[in-house]
Amino acid sequence: MKKFFFSILIFFGVIFLIVAIFIGYIFLRYQRWEKEFESNMKSEYLINMEDVKKIDFVKKISTFALSMSDTQFLELEVKEVGSIFFTVLDSYMGDSTSLERMYIEPKDSQWIVYSKIRYEDISVWISVDLNKDNIQSAQVYVKNISIGPFPVSEYTNWIEMINKGIAESIVTLNENGLVGRYIENIELLEDSIVLKGSRY
């Protein structure tokens, strides 16, 4: 009987040790990744609450919406788009959760959007990739979600939820004429997003 309990004790001890090593590995790898990631940030692509308060693109939106041209283009720079993303995401934060910073890595057809989210005393970088196919459409979509260097897409249904939200937002935008035009196309470029809108 003693041997049995001793064997059980050893078994749980080994399991605990494995879990502790795994958690330690994740923690150290995340810290190493975060240090390297933050040291390579470009200030022109970093957005925080202070930036959101300073950025004003109302004139661009007004010109886009009120233009008499049948087709009009709206070009938003990285920080302008980031301020929109920041405002929207921040509005979903709960009492114990806050959005500290956002960082965008833009390139043709794909932007990676990083958000540093704090929950009580813990803060982590969560990233999504925003993609656009090389066709004329207003549809953009997400393929990957990561927490630091760790992809979590296959373990959650977040991608499906995000893509559904994006699609419904674009439909709502077009059906209700919220910007005064029908959005025909969205282009993700190296330093901006361009929307093509036609008059109703």
Please check whether residue 172 is in contact with residue 158, taking contact to mean a CB–CB distance below 8 angstroms.
no
DSSP state of 95: T
d(CA 20, CA 30): 15
Q: Count CB neighbours of 57 within 10 A.
A: 17
User: pTM surpassing 0.85?
Assistant: yes
Which structure tokens are listed for 167? 């699609």
pLDDT in tens, 18-31: 888 888 888 999 99
Q: What confidence score (pLDDT) does residue 117 get? A: 94
Q: What confidence score (pLDDT) does residue 9 get? A: 76
CA neighbor of 76 nearest in space, from 63, 89, 67: 63
Distances in Å between the alpha carbon of 154 and those of 11, 84, 145, 150?
30, 28, 9, 11
Instruction: Look at residue 129 and give its three-state secondary structure.
Output: strand
Q: What confidence score (pLDDT) does residue 3 get? A: 66
Which residue has tokens 């549809």? 139
pLDDT in tens, 132-174: 998 899 899 999 999 999 999 887 888 998 899 888 888 887 7
Q: What confidence score (pLDDT) does residue 153 get? A: 84
Where are the alpha helices (H) located in the chain, listed in sequence order? 2-39, 49-54, 58-66, 78-91, 158-176
pLDDT per residue as tens, the chain (200 positions): 666 666 777 777 788 888 888 888 889 999 999 999 999 999 999 999 988 888 888 888 888 888 888 888 999 999 999 998 999 888 888 778 999 999 999 999 999 999 999 988 889 999 999 999 988 998 999 999 999 999 998 878 889 988 998 888 888 877 766 677 888 999 999 999 999 988 87
